[in-house]
Structure 1
Amino acid sequence: MSKNYDLVILGGGMGGYISAIRARQLGKTVALVEKGKLGGTCLHKGCIPTKALLKSAEVFQTVKKCGRFGVKVKELALNYVEAFERKNTVVDKLYQGVQQLMKKHRVDVYKGVARLLGPSIFSPMAGAVSVEMGEVNETLIGKNVLIATGARPRQLSQIPVDHAHILTSDDLLDLDHLPTSLTIIGGGVIGVEWASMMLDFDIDVTLIEQEAALLPGFDADIQTEVLNQLKQRGLTVHLNASVMESEVNGGACLVKGRKDNAPFTVSSSHVLVSVGRIANTDQLGLGNTNITVDEAGFIEVNDYFQTKESHIYAVGDCIGGKQLAHVASAEGKLAVKHMFDEKLDLTPLSFIPSCVYASPEVAMVGLTEVEANQMFTKIKTATFPFQAIGKAIVSDETKGFVKLVVNEKTRDCLGVSIVGEKATELISEAGIGLVLNASIDEFGETIHPHPSLSEAIAEASLLAMNEPVHI
């Protein structure tokens, strides 16, 4: 049996379900195929559950420090089982919301495994979708197809994951008790967030990173600040280090590595392997089409997210790039606009905010200082510390800063990096400014509420204008 649609979407994560909603808003018929739960990695294995646990960790630390605010607590205890259950409750509430959205917008959802077909009796073009739903098979024929199948944790052959002691981030989210100690392999965003969370839960953490700094791709000053703060909180770090092998012996996990040509061994109750993600493209039947993938398995697309089959698009983690939920949703909406001949503006894709929900929080948009120096002949930077901001002092959160990268000739702001309290909330102002090609004058002369952490953006702009006020 076959059914026809204007758009068939493979994958029900952020890239998939938001694209479905946009297509329905344009009056198009939409089918969405998801083998697991609607909401995808972000909702079930990524953004949301980790942030729920990070919030519990933050509250735990806040209460421990409440004496500084004149608040006394007689007894403080962490109940991780309740924090774990709260995480599940948050996820379930949002999951129900996504399900309701699909019903509201009348998107036909198929729970099953999708596979692309080549030219057949169903369609002269490649791209008809076979859906296996247990004992029932359905064939969906779309005028357009959107692949949004996401990615999964990459593993290391020398550190085999056993899902009991040596874990991926997916496994760690399913662990209903805290490790007594944790070794993290990989100092990217996911590794740093888990390191911060476990430190807040008073767990001993060792982090191993093969590069010279944590958070590759972020501004060097941000990398240094995050490293220093995490070390002050008790993190043991091995940079420029490689991992060679692992061993599980009783209740101990041993990770053996090399640093500065010398061997080292780390022992912990659990190990988190956090070394990037690989595309979920290997079981899609891409070989039945002209769609190409790169060496890592990510689908190759043009600027409008079209594959080599012009009616088949791909967005989100399965095409590589910045593997972020908000990127997938933005790409999905742009792809839908393109396939249905709507006016679209690709400018916002050049100014994607990247965030780290650790303690300290980190956020950046635009160029780093190194990137700007490679592209422009003369730039300047301005760094304004939160310790000079009244609201930061009120909150007793004075560590960190706002850093601007500026084109000295045009006075355009090229990039903004923030490390400190509420950085992930503050970055949106910078993002809007960069999309609108704002100058430091416009940032600096915009009236910001007082007292607020957002004043740091204005103060950094005034500093870049050589008109500093509070420093």
Structure 2
Amino acid sequence: MANAPYDVLFIGSGPGGYVGAIRAAQLGLKVGVVERQYMGGICPNWGCIPAKALLRSAEIFHYIEHAKDYGLVAEKYGVDIAGVVKRSRGIASQMSNGVAFLLKKNKVDVIWGQGTITAPGKVSVTATEGAPKGALAAGEYTAKNLVIATGARPRVLPGIEPDKKLIWTYFEALAPASVPKSLLIMGSGAIGVEFASFYKAMGSDVTIVELLPQILPVEDEEIAAHARKRFEKQGIKILTGAKVSKVVKGADNVTATIETADGKSQTITADRLIAAVGVVGNIENLGLEKLGVKIDRGCVSVDGLCRTNVPGIYAIGDVAGPPMLAHKAEHEGVICVEGIAGLHAHPMDKLMIPGCTYCMPQVASVGLTEKKAREAGFDIKVGRFPFIGNGKAVALGESEGLAKTIFDAKTGRLLGAHLVGAEVTELIQGFVVAMNLETTEEELINTVFPHPTVSETMHESVLSAYGRVIHA
């Protein structure tokens, strides 16, 4: 492909695709991006960003409802769901337009349509609707390197297929015409509990059904238990070790049969049901089977540098497997193109990828959970610090929270950090940096944390692990 017009061609303009494309352009490569529907992918259009906009509205409404707790008086307030959705969709549009601007600024060609790899280095693009101004037309394109960045979509369970009216995916849940009086949510991962927090704040009677024994299954058990207690205190009903085995649709509601691990069953009728049971990679219609690209559990199989088993074909982001997070996709995009450009790219270390859930309370983590650390054979020291002992958290009225740290007792290496409480999705990056720098407990103990800040809970949790906690 020495005469190919593109050095790198991305299929998909999501966080992995557009970030990888920009980095490739910075390195002097000729770059193109094929996109079929949403500039910027799902994250800014129907995922991360608009969801956080909804949750911000819910958070502000929550504070207004509790104005009296802060010595304030608030009258004549309520929910304008159309206004809430309008704000969210406006932000989504702003972010999508921002991605288009960045690609244009970096001289990355945008080709609008459905891309199919017909041979190594060759992509056939079929036209789709909604092409933005300046996008190149569908047709045949060639590139020295192809990067699959097609993302993922909601997982669909047989017999509980979304219909956009009574059974929703996150697409419908992000733009409701009205707030349902009652809501049943299947799945208690990040998507499920975020929507539970939003709709509960908006006035819905919310029930979560989780197949596993623990909500937030990827999180540390202690942190998940703390979050569950807070959710239930808010009035969210939670059924764990349970599954939705059958759904019957009514005129304007659904009746779900719930089976529990002990063999019992019950029925729950709700206005709407949100299916939040995970996502699956968009691997169809790409020509991967014909090319012999290896697929593993519904995702493209790659090595640490995002290379597939077929030379010249790479995959990044959700389509390349878990964790299915936008920041993981972005980092993979950079790793991928730096490897293509001949730089010394470092393979992805998935233990260094933080996870953030923007429910109320927020949950954030990085590294090994306590259970995983023990299973891995580590002799560990565990530190804990409750937010009630933190002056800033108390002053904020956010005194319910917990910071937890896990260290290798032999080396002092930070193995994992887990937080639940106010703004912990902002705090976790401190621990991420520490882990990347291979910081030990001694360095963290000797670090001066500003006062008064919620970040002091992080310091105290480290002190706790080594018997030196001050404020608990």
- TM-score, scaled relative to structure 1: 0.96
One of 292, 295, 299 as aligned partner of 2:294 = 292
Partner of 2:165: 164
345-354 or 23-32, larger mean C-alpha shift: 345-354
The one-letter code of the counterpart of 2:184 is T
Aligned in 2, Cα 1:447/1:188: closer, same or farther, shift over 3 Å?
Answer: same
Decide whether the 8 Å contact of 2:351 with 2:368 is kept in 1: no
Secondary structure at the aligned position of 1:254 is classed as: strand
Secondary structure at the aligned position of 2:299 is classed as: coil
Report the alpha carbon displacement of residue 348 of structure 1 after superposing the two structures with TM: 5.2
The one-letter code of the counterpart of 1:465 is Y
The one-letter code of the counterpart of 1:283 is N
Decide whether the 8 Å contact of 1:163 with 1:171 is kept in 2: yes
**Using the alignment, how far apart are the partners of 2:340 and 2:429 within structure 1?**
28
Partner of 1:59: 60
Report the alpha carbon displacement of residue 163 of structure 1 after superposing the two structures with TM: 1.3
Secondary structure at the aligned position of 1:117 is classed as: strand
The one-letter code of the counterpart of 1:427 is I
Report the alpha carbon displacement of residue 350 of structure 1 after superposing the two structures with TM: 3.1
Aligned in 2, Cα 1:134/1:53: closer, same or farther, shift over 3 Å?
Answer: closer
Report the alpha carbon displacement of residue 392 of structure 1 after superposing the two structures with TM: 0.3
Mapping for residues 220-369 of structure 1, pairs under 5 Å: 220-259=221-260, 260-294=262-296, 296-346=297-347, 349-369=350-370
Decide whether the 8 Å contact of 2:299 with 2:321 is kept in 1: yes
**Using the alignment, how far apart are the partners of 1:62 and 1:316 within structure 2?**
36
Report the alpha carbon displacement of residue 157 of structure 1 after superposing the two structures with TM: 0.5
The one-letter code of the counterpart of 1:220 is E
Secondary structure at the aligned position of 1:39 is classed as: coil
Aligned in 2, Cα 1:366/1:117: closer, same or farther, shift over 3 Å?
Answer: same
The one-letter code of the counterpart of 1:131 is V
**Using the alignment, how far apart are the partners of 1:134 and 1:205 within structure 2?**
38
Decide whether the 8 Å contact of 1:33 with 1:113 is kept in 2: yes
Report the alpha carbon displacement of residue 160 of structure 1 after superposing the two structures with TM: 2.3
- TM-score, scaled relative to structure 2: 0.96
Task: Please tell me whether residue 186 in structure 1 is matched to residue 187 in structure 2.
Answer: yes
Task: Please tell me whether residue 133 in structure 1 is matched to residue 133 in structure 2.
Answer: no
Decide whether the 8 Å contact of 1:406 with 1:415 is kept in 2: yes
Partner of 2:416: 415
Partner of 1:38: 39
- String of CA shifts for 1:60-92, please: whole Å, max 9, x gaps: 001111112221112221111111100011111
**Using the alignment, how far apart are the partners of 2:32 and 2:161 within structure 1?**
38
Aligned in 2, Cα 1:257/1:103: closer, same or farther, shift over 3 Å?
Answer: same
Secondary structure at the aligned position of 2:228 is classed as: helix
Report the alpha carbon displacement of residue 3 of structure 1 after superposing the two structures with TM: 6.2
Number of residues paired by the alignment? 462
Aligned in 2, Cα 1:79/1:289: closer, same or farther, shift over 3 Å?
Answer: same
**Using the alignment, how far apart are the partners of 1:377 and 1:348 within structure 2?**
19
Decide whether the 8 Å contact of 2:366 with 2:417 is kept in 1: yes
- String of CA shifts for 1:278-334, please: whole Å, max 9, x gaps: 11111111123121112x321111121111112110010001110000000001100
**Using the alignment, how far apart are the partners of 1:84 and 1:252 within structure 2?**
22
**Using the alignment, how far apart are the partners of 1:77 and 1:431 within structure 2?**
39
Report the alpha carbon displacement of residue 137 of structure 1 after superposing the two structures with TM: 4.1
**Using the alignment, how far apart are the partners of 2:318 and 2:203 within structure 1?**
33
Partner of 1:121: none
- String of CA shifts for 1:223-277, please: whole Å, max 9, x gaps: 1011111011111111111211111112221011211211111111000011111
**Using the alignment, how far apart are the partners of 1:162 and 1:37 within structure 2?**
21
**Using the alignment, how far apart are the partners of 2:220 and 2:314 within structure 1?**
33
Decide whether the 8 Å contact of 1:116 with 1:288 is kept in 2: no
Secondary structure at the aligned position of 2:430 is classed as: helix
**Using the alignment, how far apart are the partners of 1:156 and 1:373 within structure 2?**
34
**Using the alignment, how far apart are the partners of 2:32 and 2:327 within structure 1?**
22
The one-letter code of the counterpart of 1:292 is K
Q: Percent identity?
A: 34
Secondary structure at the aligned position of 1:194 is classed as: helix
What CA RMSD, in Å, does the superposition of the two structures yield over aligned residues?
A: 1.4
- String of CA shifts for 1:207-236, please: whole Å, max 9, x gaps: 111100101111000110111110111111
Partner of 2:134: none
**What are the ranges of 5 or more consecutive residues in structure 1 without an aligned counterpart?**
119-125
- String of CA shifts for 1:78-128, please: whole Å, max 9, x gaps: 11111110001111111111111011000000111100012xxxxxxx230
